[in-house]
Amino acid sequence: MKVFVPKEARPGETRVAATPESVKKMVGAGLDVMVEQGAGAGSHFSDDQYEAVGAQMTGDRQAALGDTDALLTVVAPDPADAAALKEGALLVGLLSPLQNLDLVRRLTESKVSSLAMELVPRISRAQTMDALSSQASIAGYKAVLLAAERLGKYFPLLMTAAGTIKPARVVVMGAGVAGLQAVATAKRLGAVVEVSDIRDVVKEQVESLGGKFIELPELGGGEGEGGYAREMTPEFLAKQREIVTRHVQAADVVICTALVPGRKAPTLVTKEMVEGMKAGAVLVDLAVEQGGNCEVSKSGEEVVHHDVLILGPANLPAETPVDASQLYARNVWALLKSLLDEGAITLDTEDEVVDGALLTHAGEVRHAPTRQALEA
């Protein structure tokens, strides 16, 4: 079976879908692995390192695409690359199907099967395949460092001969993997941290990291399938904003991390809330590529609104490419290994992991929200 690891085409994408470590495991499992020249350069993995573990290097991307049985990517490939794949080939990556409907159409037309890493169900045996968590952890960590760098004050409490410096106040919106890592990082830097989440079950996790959970009384739990937050009603979100507003307006830093898989990110910080924040405060919106938690944020841009700096980093994991690639490559290999049967890929649609992650197969779109979006 032939596997191809291309150089990512997305501008600014430094990660790679397979590292020398994971390629060695693939080769050991009997797979024929081809890597595009320079694919690992952004993550500081050289072509020589790949060759040393048994990979074949190629400079002919189109020929490799047309001959491969499995294409491993970090993010969605160009639709033209997807069209070059042969019928029955497999694409594995963070495909963001609702944002890449043209790609989904090409995959369907070409009868290419695709597994979207972000759709892997959150169950015990799929933990090693959970790319959303591995990348979100890095994003949460980097978001706090980014905010600390841009904030015009210290994070920790400092007692000096010139007087006492109060610690920064940080509000984290969403206590998923990214949010909890943001809490841990902000606490390590000495900030006072408060957390807002619609799921009551995360309160204990927040408090174990030293954060204070912002109570949302009488609103009910918001936990959905697989432990993710479920989509809430506009009435609920309005009440949540009312409760959280006073905490946001007292904060020096707000980190927004709330996502609902397969849906637009909920708006948690309105324009009016931003206008009530402290002058010089910093807001980092990690949900910006899914529509954003902040009404004012823009993907890949810095916005200053009422003397508040709003950052919309589009791809924070790519700023830590070595570890981000190592973790992601392990996620991909764990999924790929589970599909192998005597050296060939078998897609068992009765398997819970395959059924959950399978985006397209045999000319059909299997992911219901994507299918509905295409029909619309």
> Which of 34, 32, 37 lies closest to 47, judged by CA?
37
Residue listed under structure tokens 């799921």: 199
Name the active-site residue from 49, 56, 96, 133.
133
152 Cβ contact partners less than 8 Å away, ≥ 6 residues apart: 280
> Which of 167, 195, 201 lies closest to 257, judged by CA?
195
Cα 20 from Cα 222, distance rounded (Å): 41
Name the active-site residue from 46, 99, 127, 372.
127
Known catalytic membership, residue 122: yes
Q: What is the DSSP string of 99-112?
A: G-HHHHHHHHHTT-
Name the active-site residue from 10, 61, 105, 122.
122
Q: How many Cα atoms are found within 13 Å in the side-chain-facing hemisphere of 237?
A: 17
Name the active-site residue from 150, 154, 205, 228.
228
**Pair 13, 75: CB distance under 8 Å:** yes
Known catalytic membership, residue 133: yes
Cα 223 from Cα 50, distance rounded (Å): 42
Helices 321-339 and 20-28 pack at an angle, to 10 degrees, of 20
Q: Are strands 364-365 and 32-36 parallel, antiparallel or unpaired?
A: unpaired
Name the active-site residue from 22, 106, 130, 141.
130
Phi-psi region of 280 (alpha: psi -120 to 50; beta: other; left: phi over 0): left
Known catalytic membership, residue 50: no
3 state SS for 238-263: HHHHHHHHHHHHCCCEEEECCCCCCC
Contacts 24+ apart (CB under 8 A), 206-213: 206/175, 206/180, 209/180, 209/183, 209/184, 210/183, 210/184, 211/172, 211/183, 211/187
Tokens of 135: 């990348």
Type of residue at 292: G
Per DSSP, helices labelled H in the chain are 20-28, 47-52, 61-67, 79-83, 101-109, 131-150, 177-188, 203-208, 234-249, 271-275, 321-339, 352-357, 368-375
Q: Which residues are catalytic?
A: 122, 127, 130, 133, 228
